[in-house]
Amino acid sequence: MIDVSRRRFIAALAAGTASAALPPPARADCARASSACANRADLRWRPGLDGQRRADLGDGTYLNPILAGDRPDPTLLRDGDDFYMTHSSFDAYPGLLLWHSRDLVNWRPVTAALHTPVGSVWAPELTRHGGRYFLYFHARRPGRRSIYVLHAPSIEGPWSAPIDLDLPDHIDPGHAVAEDGTRYLFLSGGDRVRLTPDGLARAGAVEHVYDPWRYPEDWVVESFSPEGPKIVRRGKWFYMITAVGGTAGPPTGHMVIVARARSLDGPWEHDPGNPIVRTWSVSEKWWSRGHATPFEGPDGRWWMVYHGYENGFWTLGRQTLLEPIEWTPDGWFRPLGGDLSAPITKPVDLGEQPHGLALSDDFSTDRLGLQWAFHDPAPGEAARVRRAGGVLHLKALGTSPADSAPLTCIAGDLAYRIECDVAIDEGAEAGLLLFYNRRLYAGLGLAAGNFVMHRAGLGRKAAKPQGMGRICRLRLTNDRNILTIHTSHDGGATWRKFGVQMEVSGYHHNVAGDFLSLRPALYAAGTGEARFANFTYQAL
């Protein structure tokens, strides 16, 4: 039977008067709870926070990805002995979460740089110039596409509001400084634009300076799409690293190409080894590999970060990969990691380092921008959230998950379980989801008189067990893209399996667009508010 203290807490949660969260209910041993644990031998990653997979294997090696889950279009800045990285955050706000590392394998979150919604955020560029930090990125929303810049005196901020550079026809800015100190943004398609000395405005018209290398016509790719230019200077050469072949589509499409020139004005010479990175077969561990940034690591050797889809798991989005490279006698560089399915020696061993972000949340502190982000929010969306006594109060919005701006977090495990106590006002509907975008999601919502089953972005009423009111604990288990739902009317003491299971492997970009990932989410629609407590995440 459920203990008296938890019974009182559940009653207070339903009434909106709970003053202290209880510890989550005990879990069954994972070997009994999920078939995923029976296959643990194939998961060679080291378990980290909440059991999440961790690249550092603890023996001087690491196994990609270095950041699991949807961390695409990585941009990396070396600042002395410190390395900072961020990624495309798309429709998630707060966005552009910055990460810090000293060994390139273990990463801790620092802060979210972007808080003002300007649309879906693509392919940022993080750089430091003149003692100041800059973030350039493309963003698009209905009626406006452009490239923006944020700036800050330190990596922790405060970061400025976004400044529109009025570049509506390009994506994927890459910052570069010429021999004479002139600042440029290199852009998609082989174009560039000169910046003012402070880096906060254009100082001229866009010009075409580079015709990207083209792959053979019979290669299986998505589209040509030259994008993501990164400029690196080494010795007397400037190197331009570009992605071509399309970011998604066929697994063999995306690739990394290189060109070099003595000056940023060109002429640019193609690497005779292009493409230097590509997925050649669908049997490889990582698909659609591209969008690379090379840099000198803490060991004096060179490395590059880029992204890729995990074979069979488009639902996790594009994950961040780290690969060693070597320079050849003729001044080009070559990757050394193969298909990245095997462990690689770490750049440097600094002992045990913090890594990752715990996803379980007792709602005692504000974790917006680190763990939680609204999907496609309106300005001022954060005002919907209030925390009190270990309970997250979320004002209801819209009529369904599609228009309620759910709170989402990024999962990077092949199998995991999420649970949460959910309580609603009379006119509200709220629950747990695996959310891709406003057109595609799955999960279960609690309404006053019924459940609402969500599948493929469509809602359907379902009967609640007898005696269940406006509070329950929900559990979603995503076991390698098989979704199973459980409900509990007594806070997790006993569980009832929901009558429908779902297969969600098709909830990804090649089906629904938007370049996103399938994410755990909380939503509240209708009127009044919903209350959430004791959110737990456990990798299986």
CA atoms within 13 A on the CB side of 466: 0
Of the candidate ranges 23-32, 234-243, 400-409, 414-423, the one whose mean pLDDT is the lowest: 23-32
pLDDT exceeds cutoff 80 at 330: yes
Of the candidate ranges 218-227, 318-327, 372-381, 463-472, the one whose mean pLDDT is the lowest: 463-472
pLDDT tens string 336-346: 999 999 999 99
pLDDT band at 61 (very low <50, low <70, confident <90, very high): very high
pLDDT of residue 467: 80
DSSP 217: T
pLDDT band at 468 (very low <50, low <70, confident <90, very high): confident
Share above pLDDT 90 across residues of the chain, in percent, rounded to a whole number: 91
pLDDT of residue 233: 97
Angle at CA 265, nearest 5°, toward 259 and 269? Answer: 25
pLDDT tens string 23-59: 555 443 333 333 333 333 345 788 999 999 999 999 9
pLDDT of residue 96: 98
Share above pLDDT 70 across residues of the chain, in percent, rounded to a whole number: 92
297-318 b/e (C-beta count within 10 Å ≥ 16 → b) = bbeeebbbbbbbbbbebbbbbb
pLDDT exceeds cutoff 80 at 472: yes
Mean pLDDT of 467-488: 96
CA atoms within 13 A on the CB side of 269: 12
pLDDT band at 7 (very low <50, low <70, confident <90, very high): low
Q: Which residues on neighbouring strands pair with residue 473, listed in sequence order?
A: 421, 488
Distance in angstroms (rounded) separating the CA atoms of residues 375 and 94: 9
| Identity at 155, one-letter amino acid code | I
Counting every residue written for the chain, the total comes to 540
Taking the model in full, what pTM does it have? 0.94
Distance in angstroms (rounded) separating the CA atoms of residues 292 and 210: 18
Query: Are the C-beta atoms of residues 466 and 437 closer than 8 Å to each other?
Result: no
* Cis preceding linkage at 94, omega within 30: yes
**By CB neighbour count within 10 A (0-12 exposed, 13-18 middle, 19+ buried), where does 28 fall?**
exposed
pLDDT exceeds cutoff 60 at 21: no
pLDDT exceeds cutoff 90 at 298: yes
The mean pLDDT of the chain is: 93
pLDDT tens string 146-155: 999 999 999 9
